[in-house]
Chains A and B, each alone.
Chain A
Amino acid sequence: MNRREFVRSSALLTASLALPVVWGHETKAGGAPDAVIAEGDPGPAVRAAIAGLGGIEQFVKKGDKVVVKPNMSFSNPPSWATTTHPDVIKEIVSLCVAAGAGQVLVLDNTLRDREMCIEQSGIAKACEVFPESRVLGLSEKKFFKDVPVPEGKELKSTAVMKDVLDANVVISAPVAKSHSSAGVSLSMKNMMGVVYDRAVFHTLYDLHTAIVDLCTVAKAHLTVVDATRLLSTGGPGGPGKVLQPRKVIASTDMVAADAITVDMGEWYGRKFEPGQVKHIREAHERGLGRMDIDKLNIKQVQA
Chain B
Amino acid sequence: MRFQRLVQIALFVLFALLLWQAKYPLAEGLPVDLFLRLDPTILLGTMLVSGTWITDLFRGLAVLLLALVLGRFFCGYVCPLGATVDAADWMIRRKKPGRNGNAAEGNTRIQAWKYLLLFAVFCSVLAGVSLVFLVSPISLATRFYTVTVYPVLLSLADSCLWFVENISSYLGLDGAGYLQIKHVSFNANVFTAFFVTGLLLLGLLRPRFWCRNVCPAGAMFALCSRKPMVRRTVNDRCTDCGACIRSCPMGAISNEPQRTAHSECIVCLKCMEVCPENAVSFRWTFEKNAAPAVDPGKRRLVLSGCAGLAAGLLLKTNVGSVQGSAKDLVISRVRILRPPGALPEEAFLDRCVRCGECMKACPTNTLQPVWFETGIDGVWSPKLAARYAACEQACNLCGRVCPTGAVRPLSLDEKKYAKIGTAFIDRSRCIAWEEDRACLICDEICPYNAIVMRPVTDNRNTVPFVNENKCNGCGYCENKCPVLGEAAIRVSPHGELRLFDGSYERTAQAHGLVFHAKGGLEESFSFTKPKQDGNTSPEIPPVPSPDQLPPGFTSD
Contact = CB atoms under 8 A, between A and B. Distances in A.
Contacts, number: 141
A134 B522 contact: no
Contacts of A270: 546, 550
Nearest to A237: B444
B393 A238 contact: no
Contacts of B549: 276
Interface stretch (B50-58, B107-115, B130-138, B172-180): B172-180
B445 A202 contact: no
A155 B555 CA distance: 25
A238 B438 CA distance: 19
A269 B39 CA distance: 60
Contact of A116 (B24, B445, B461): B24
B552 A240 contact: no
Nearest to A207: B438
B553 A237 contact: no
Contact of A82 (B438, B520, B521): B520
A109 B276 CA distance: 66
Interface string A189-207: 0000000000110110011
Nearest to A76: B520
B25 A199 contact: no
Interface in A59-96: 74-77, 79-82
B394 interface: yes
Contacts of A203: 431, 437, 439, 482-483
Contact of A278 (B25, B525, B554): B554
A233 interface: yes
B363 A113 contact: yes
B449 interface: yes
Contacts of A242: 520-521
B519 A276 contact: no
A75 B392 contact: yes
A183 interface: yes
A179 interface: yes
A237 B394 CA distance: 14
B480 interface: yes
Interface in A158-217: 178-184, 199-200, 202-203, 206-208
B364 interface: yes
B247 to A, nearest CB: 49
A75 B363 CA distance: 13
B392 A238 contact: no
B438 A272 contact: no
A111 interface: yes
A119 interface: yes
Given A75-B392, A238-B520, A181 B551 contact: yes
Contacts of A152: none
Contact of A272 (B394, B520, B553): B553
Contacts of A76: 447, 520
Nearest to B440: A181
B395 interface: yes
B443 interface: yes
A140 interface: yes
Interface string A235-279: 011111110000000000000000000000001111011011110
Given A76-B520, A180-B551, A234 B449 contact: yes
A166 B215 CA distance: 59
B441 interface: yes
Interface in B447-477: 447, 449, 453, 461-462, 476
A194 B363 CA distance: 23
Given A82-B520, A180-B440, A181-B439, A134 B552 contact: no
A223 interface: no
B551 A116 contact: no
Chain B interface size band reads: 35 or more
Contacts of B178: 134, 136, 138, 143
A16 interface: no
Contacts of A240: 449, 520, 522
Nearest to B522: A241
Given A115-B24, A181-B439, A203-B437, A237 B447 contact: yes
A181 B394 contact: no
A120 interface: yes
Contacts of A228: none
A113 B184 CA distance: 13
B251 to A, nearest CB: 49
Interface residues of A, number: 58
Contacts of A206: 438
Contacts of B175: 134
Nearest to A232: B522
A44 B153 CA distance: 47
A76 B480 CA distance: 18
B116 interface: no
A189 B480 CA distance: 18
B28 interface: no
Most chain-A Cβ atoms within 10 A of its Cβ — which of B174, B551, B552?
Answer: B552
A202 B546 contact: no
Nearest to B516: A239
B446 interface: yes
A103 interface: yes
A112 interface: yes
Nearest to A241: B522
Nearest to A238: B520
A300 interface: no
Given A113-B363, A242-B521, A237 B550 contact: no
B462 A180 contact: yes
Contact of B552 (A81, A180, A200, A239): A180
Contact of A111 (B180, B394, B445): B445
Contacts of A143: 178
A149 B553 CA distance: 26
Most chain-A Cβ atoms within 10 A of its Cβ — which of B178, B446, B453, B556?
Answer: B178
Given A75-B394, A115-B24, A136-B178, A181 B552 contact: yes
A143 B449 CA distance: 31
Interface in B532-556: 546, 549-556
Most chain-A Cβ atoms within 10 A of its Cβ — which of B438, B546, B549, B554?
Answer: B438
Given A180-B552, A183-B551, A272-B553, A233 B438 contact: no
B165 to A, nearest CB: 10
B105 interface: no
B194 to A, nearest CB: 31
Contacts of B431: 202-203
B517 A239 contact: yes
Interface string B309-332: 000000000000000000000000
Given A113-B363, A115-B363, A180-B462, A276 B439 contact: no
Given A180-B440, A202-B482, A275 B556 contact: yes
Nearest to B435: A203
Contacts of B462: 180-181
B392 A179 contact: no
Closest 10 CB pairs of A and B: A183-B552, A80-B520, A239-B517, A181-B440, A199-B482, A239-B520, A268-B550, A202-B439, A241-B522, A203-B482
7 contacts: A180-B444, A181-B444, A203-B483, A233-B522, A242-B520, A242-B521, A267-B550
Interface of A: 74-77, 79-82, 103, 111-116, 119-120, 134, 136, 138-140, 143, 178-184, 199-200, 202-203, 206-208, 231, 233-234, 236-242, 267-270, 272-273, 275-278, 281
Interface of B: 24-25, 174-175, 178, 180, 363-364, 392-395, 431, 437-441, 443-447, 449, 453, 461-462, 476, 480, 482-483, 517, 519-523, 525, 546, 549-556
